[in-house]
Chain A
Amino acid sequence: NAGVTQTPKFRVLKTGQSMTLLCAQDMNHEYMYWYRQDPGMGLRLIHYSVGEGTTAKGEVPDGYNVSRLKKQNFLLGLESAAPSQTSVYFCASKKGLAGWYNEQFFGPGTRLTVL
């Protein structure tokens, strides 16, 4: 199993450009998450999904959109990138909420710089 993979690993954008980050998991997990990690801020939840076809807002959703058309994929979109979106983005997934299913598996991250 590849686990959780993220594409791309690095990206540089100019202000106003758009892009999509792809997260894929091969563990048949229901729940998927997008976080951003900034120095001194820990991880902050952007959006999440509790199953195919569902999405919900997290702590810092503004400027981002997401889609979960297939169970294994969770896409994060930036329609008009801003320098404040320079960050490292992590995707995570987990099987469920109860007991030992409640463990998130993280991808390796995408480092995004917006100039």
Chain B
Amino acid sequence: GDSVTQMEGPVTLSEEAFLTINCTYTATGYPSLFWYVQYPGEGLQLLLKATKADDKGSNKGFEATYRKETTSFHLEKGSVQVSDSAVYFCALSITQGGSEKLVFGKGTKLTVNP
């Protein structure tokens, strides 16, 4: 079935370090892919998205490229800040015959130390 697998956390980095959070997916159709971020005590916010193969989503210095050949959508940031500390969720959305299926990964907690 359709699923999303993202790297287990927690991830702890120092400020200005490079970040990669891996995400791979399994889907029967052609999904849209998303990264959501959840700051402590808040709901999820869309960070970036990509709707077709080779699309690159970007926002706030974060980037992710939709790789159909490797079924991946890895999240990257060149230089993290303390304010990036949060839980990050990879997700996919598939629409088939007018109905939709949404699947979230289990989340990766990122802590950035000064």
Chain A interface residues (CB < 8 Å from chain B): 4, 31, 33, 35, 40-45, 50, 56, 90, 92, 97, 99, 102-109
Contact = CB atoms under 8 A, between A and B. Distances in A.
Nearest to A98: B95
18 contacts: A31-B100, A33-B102, A42-B89, A42-B107, A43-B89, A43-B104, A90-B44, A92-B44, A97-B93, A97-B95, A97-B100, A102-B32, A102-B49, A104-B46, A106-B36, A106-B44, A107-B43, A108-B42
Contacts of B95: 97
Interface residues of B, number: 21
Contacts of B45: 106
Nearest to A109: B43
B67 interface: no
A33 B107 CA distance: 19
Given A99-B51, A103-B49, A42 B104 contact: yes
Contacts of A97: 93, 95, 100
Contacts, number: 46
Contacts of A102: 32, 49, 51, 93
Contacts of A105: 46
Interface in B36-60: 36, 41-46, 49, 51
A107 B104 CA distance: 17
A52 to B, nearest CB: 17
Nearest to B8: A40
Nearest to A3: B43
Given A102-B32, A106-B36, 7 more contacts: A42-B104, A45-B102, A92-B43, A92-B44, A97-B100, A102-B49, A106-B44
